[in-house]
Amino acid sequence: MVKAIDIPFGPQHPALEEPINFTFEVEEERVVDVKIRLGYIHRGIEKLAENRTYHQNVYLVERICGICSFAHTTCYTQAVEELLGVDIPERAKYIRTIFCEMERIQNHYLWLGFTAKAMGFETLFMYTWRDREAMLEVLEMISGKRVNYGMNTIGGVRRDITGKMVERMEERLNYLEERANYYKKVCTKERSILKRTVGVGMLEPSDALNLCAVGPTLRASGIPQDVRADEPYAAYGEIPFRVVTYDGCDVASRILVRIDEIIESVKMIRRALDGMPQGPIRVKVPKNVPKGEAVSLVEAPRGEDLHYLRSDGSDRPARLKVRAPTLANLPSLRKMLKGVNIADIPIVIAGIDPCLACMERVILVDTKSKKGQAWSGEELWRYANEWYRES
Amino acid sequence: MVILMAMEDELLESLKKKPVTLRFPYERARPEDRMQAKVTWEIEKCIGCNLCVKVCPSNAIKLIGRGRKAEIRYHVGRCLFCGECVDVCPTKAIQTTKEFELAFTKPEEMILEFRR
């Protein structure tokens, strides 16, 4: 009988891009249990949002995440528009859809490189990041920026897509589609990738549903769930597309789901550019937002993103709550990590596309000692039990 | 079929190519037409309406004085380069430039003042 030992992993670790702490309980090479501890990059964005106007908050929400910034602003502006009762112009809806898809393409290329790096395949990492540049150039051409685009505003979008830009976009899209097909070939044939990913980090479909996994992580377990198809927002109701699923339940399927989503996104952008109506791109909106609550859902590149907004009738929100996709994927990450080898840990963590800065916004302050403290799940659990026993 | 090196052809091709990166201080990419960087004021056109101050998401603009005598204090370090102030200005007194290399040696240099 081998005694289990605990291995701390993070918050600072070369395999992690952002600080998070895992404690792995291992028996020889196998992980038997994982404890995840969060709270290293809490930024207080939700509280800050209450002190700024709805319009200023668009730029704050954009900075929740550097990679899926457009998904967050789309989600936020949709919630505000719902409260205002404003219908945005058709052309603005199409431009939002095109941007959402372009962001998905650049995110998936970035993720592919990140995963390749996690499995030690540096060449693939260099090549995918070079190709990602083609998408970033298009984004920069339309919006003027590479990451935080500043495109969305309450009541529409700020910049239009002109005919000249469409030509350049189509040329880049052809290139990206060709490259995605090439990477698909590489990822299904290359021996080192197959050895590292097939059968690693298994997540059964029933577990994925029970643990509320979202996005490509869920779709790699064979469940066709996608906000774009289930609850269409922007112009997704008018653009036909296929929800990509694979039923391998492992890291290899997560790679293939994302590569196929790139190809699908390229097709969607082409359809959207063909069907894009002429007209205005934004409407004027009042400063004060009527009393009420709104929930908005968006399929961010990493999965389902949720914004809850409550208004008290002033020009500042009374409450903004953000549930980023990585938080929804963490319970299933714990499930995936059980039973893997220590060497497979980085690739399994990379497999859910973690974005911790998006996710961290829970901090508990003890009012008696006035001490701010990030709680671990266990402490919170114990506190909750004690509190119920006393009351 | 499982093969040892799937990227072989690609890698051999790349041997003939030059690096794709630019040697930055000597070579520069042409900035995009819609690029927004540092903002400047044509202070003669400014009517001191305070709209740019209200719309700025990062409180980078301050108005000193009132009306047509107002002066502008602009914190470059806080600016997000979103261009909201440019869009909102009723007299088109604010313009964006393409000046993006904004490194300073002293914190005071990051505050620009536009006087009449």
A246-269 per-position pLDDT tens digit: 988 999 999 999 999 999 999 999
Tokens of B97: 């430039």
pLDDT over 60 (residue A214): yes
pLDDT over 70 (residue A186): yes
- Residue-wise pLDDT for A351-372, tens only, equals 888 777 666 544 444 444 444 4
Q: Which of A56, A141, A186 sits opposite B7 (nearest CB)?
A: A186
Give domain A45-337+347-352's CATH architecture: Orthogonal Bundle (1.10)
pLDDT over 80 (residue A180): yes
pLDDT over 80 (residue A150): yes
Q: Chain A: give the shortest CA distance to residue B35, in Å.
A: 4
Closest CA to A101 of A262, A277, A296, A326: A262
- Residue-wise pLDDT for A275-312, tens only, equals 999 999 999 999 899 999 999 999 999 999 999 999 99
- Residue-wise pLDDT for A76-101, tens only, equals 999 999 999 999 999 999 999 999 99
* Domains of chain B and any CATH numbers: 33-114 (3.30.70.3270)
Cβ within 8 Å, pair A150-B80 = yes
Share of residues in chain A with pLDDT > 90 (%): 56
Residue type, A161: I
Backbone angles phi, psi at A214, to 5 degrees: -135, 165
Q: How confident is the model at residue A209 (pLDDT cuts 50, 70, 90)?
A: very high
CB-based contact A193:A121 (threshold 8 Å):
yes
Cβ contacts from A onto B, under 8 A: 59
- Residue-wise pLDDT for B78-89, tens only, equals 999 988 999 999
CB-based contact B88:B41 (threshold 8 Å):
no
Chain A CB contacts of B58 under 8 Å are: 59
Q: Chain A: give the shortest CA distance to residue B34, in Å.
A: 5
Closest CA to B82 of B111, B106, B61, B104: B61
Check residues A211 and A43 and name the one with the higher pLDDT. A211
Q: Which of A55, A59, A141 sits opposite B32 (nearest CB)?
A: A141
Name the residue ranges covered by the structural domains of chain A: 45-337+347-352, 363-391
**Interface of chain A toward chain B, CB-CB under 8 angstroms:** 52, 55-60, 123-124, 127, 130, 133, 140-145, 148, 150, 158-159, 182, 185-186, 189-191, 194
- Residue-wise pLDDT for B41-57, tens only, equals 999 999 989 999 999 99
Cβ within 8 Å, pair B57-A158 = no
* Total Cβ atoms within 10 A of residue A219: 26
pLDDT over 80 (residue A6): no
pLDDT over 90 (residue A157): yes
Question: Facing residues of A323 across strands?
Answer: A306
* Total Cβ atoms within 10 A of residue A278: 6
Closest CA to A103 of A268, A279, A271, A324: A268
Q: How confident is the model at residue A375 (pLDDT cuts 50, 70, 90)?
A: very low
Residue A228: predicted pLDDT: 92
Of the residues A51, A54, A55, the best mutation for testing chain B's interface (the one with the most B CB atoms within 10 Å of its CB) is A55
Q: How confident is the model at residue A140 (pLDDT cuts 50, 70, 90)?
A: very high
Q: How confident is the model at residue B90 (pLDDT cuts 50, 70, 90)?
A: very high
Residue A347: predicted pLDDT: 84
As for the ipTM of the complex, it is: 0.89
pTM for the whole structure: 0.88
- How many Å apart are CA A67 and CA A132, to the nearest integer? 12
pLDDT over 60 (residue A376): no
Cβ within 8 Å, pair A140-B83 = no
Q: Which of B2, B3, B82 sits opposite A59 (nearest CB)?
A: B82
Q: How confident is the model at residue A43 (pLDDT cuts 50, 70, 90)?
A: confident
- Residue-wise pLDDT for A116-130, tens only, equals 888 878 889 999 999
**Nearest residue of A to residue B58, measured between CA atoms:** A56
**Nearest residue of B to residue A146, measured between CA atoms:** B35
Alpha helices in chain A (DSSP H): 45-49, 54-62, 69-84, 90-118, 122-143, 163-189, 191-197, 205-210, 215-219, 227-230, 251-275, 325-337, 345-351, 356-359, 377-390
SS3 at position A363: coil
Residue B1: predicted pLDDT: 60
- How many Å apart are CA A123 and CA A245, to the nearest integer? 27
Residue in the structure block whose two tokens are 């509190």: A387
Share of residues in chain A with pLDDT > 70 (%): 89
- The DSSP secondary structure of B34-73, one letter per residue, reads T----EEE-TTT-----HHHHH-TT--EEEESSGGG-EEE
- Residue-wise pLDDT for A7-33, tens only, equals 777 677 766 677 788 888 888 778 888
Lowest mean pLDDT segment, chosen from A5-9, A335-339, B96-100 = A5-9
Average pLDDT over chain A, rounded to an integer:
86
